[in-house]
Amino acid sequence: MRKGILSLTAAAAALALGLTACGGDSGQTTSTSTASAPAAKAGKIGVILPDSKSSARWETADRKYLEEAFKAAGVQYDIQNAQNDKTAFQTIADQMITNGATVLMIVNLDSGTGKTVIEKAKSQGVPTIDYDRLTLGGGAAYYVSFDNTKVGTLQGEGLVKCLTDKKAEKPIVAYLNGSPTDNNATLFKNGYDGVLKPKFDSGDYVKGPEQSVPDWDNTQAGTLFEQMLTEQPKIAGVLAANDGLGNAAITVLKKNNLNGKVPVTGQDATVQGLQNILAGDQCMTVYKAVKKEADAAAKLAVALAKGEKPTAASSVKDPETGQDVPSELMEPQAIYFDNVKDVVADGYVTKEELCTGDFAAKCTEAGIQ
Ligand code: BGC
């Protein structure tokens, strides 16, 4: 494992050649570049993505948009994926700093791992940006994400809308929460609890089984949901924290001929999630325009790499330290069958990848051009 990481990072070290190296026996992927534009004064930006399985977004959207932004700014960068390996995460960070990174942008695997990296970077004079996930107690220089409580609110409201459309009476609602070590999962839950708890309290809805899915692991989510449905066969709605978890629930519902009858939520507007919506098996997803997030983070990183001290639009209080972290937070958008087309129009997914096979007719029905 270690050997694989080292050899890949060696490839990363060859960045002066402007090479792109992919894959390796450790599963890490890396892309590096030296831009031809005048990058003379700017330092190098290192980015560590978390994994490629908990959501398609990290490799299909975040990497792509960050790369585009760095290329446009003409700065050197090195984007690697820790593939959910906490040891690799630290190793990659260390090696990025050794290889001359002057700014680090991380999506932590948990706050502990993030904090170690941030502190190490700080001791070397390398500023850090918490990208998408806030590192609790970490003290990163900046935090760039979405309004994650709002994401959860949209999910809660989405489930209510779909249950209302189905005229569900006293529906039993199950929760498949995100990873217990991801601060975002806490924020999402705060958001949907805000909508659903009053319904449970008033007796309009019934709180069913609830599980947090370690590392957002989709396979584990399937096993957990299978147990939940065995325990409570009358589950009538599923608040799933992202499209991967939603798809895990849908797969189990399909086996029980309940898909389409039991609304399921999601997040990330992945091709799979959108197809599940088109098929009528998923109630909604939350679209987060990752391009905006990547652009905002890249802008800060580029300024930092040039030795500037950029200002951020707002700030978020780190609940552990009570300190304000300068932040940029983007707006999420709820997506249902009727506005799947917005995600395509925004260029986040293409019609070609979405409207394959049986989905072609659904795409036409949903007005996707
Ligand atoms: C991100 C989500 C993603 C999840 C799993 C969260 O921190 O905000 O977009 O689905 O992690 O990767």
Calculate how far, in angstroms, residue 55's C-alpha sits from the geometric centre of ligand 1.
6
250 pairs with which residues across the strands?
A: none
Residue 55 Cβ inside 6 Å of ligand 1? The answer reads yes
CA distances from 303 to 25, 76, 158, 325 (A): 35, 13, 38, 17
Residue 60 Cβ inside 6 Å of ligand 1? The answer reads no
- The pLDDT score that the predictor gives to residue 24 is 33
Residue 62 Cβ inside 6 Å of ligand 1? The answer reads no
Residue 57 Cβ inside 6 Å of ligand 1? The answer reads yes
- The pLDDT score that the predictor gives to residue 263 is 98
- The pLDDT score that the predictor gives to residue 29 is 53
- The pLDDT score that the predictor gives to residue 15 is 38
Q: Which of 116, 45, 78, 120 is nearest to 297 (CA)?
A: 45
pLDDT of 311 higher than 60? yes
- The pLDDT score that the predictor gives to residue 43 is 82
Q: What is the pLDDT of residues 123-151, one digit of tens each?
A: 999 999 999 999 999 999 999 999 999 99
Mean pLDDT of 71-99: 97
Calculate how far, in angstroms, residue 56's C-alpha sits from the geometric centre of ligand 1.
9
From 57, 247, 330, the mutation candidate for ligand 1 (largest count of ligand atoms within 8 A of CB) is 57
Residue 132 Cβ inside 6 Å of ligand 1? The answer reads yes
The more confidently predicted of residues 13 and 278 is 278
- The pLDDT score that the predictor gives to residue 31 is 61
- The pLDDT score that the predictor gives to residue 17 is 34
% residues pLDDT > 70 (the chain): 89
Residue 108 Cβ inside 6 Å of ligand 1? The answer reads no
Q: Decide: 239 and 176 in contact? Cβ < 8 Å.
A: yes
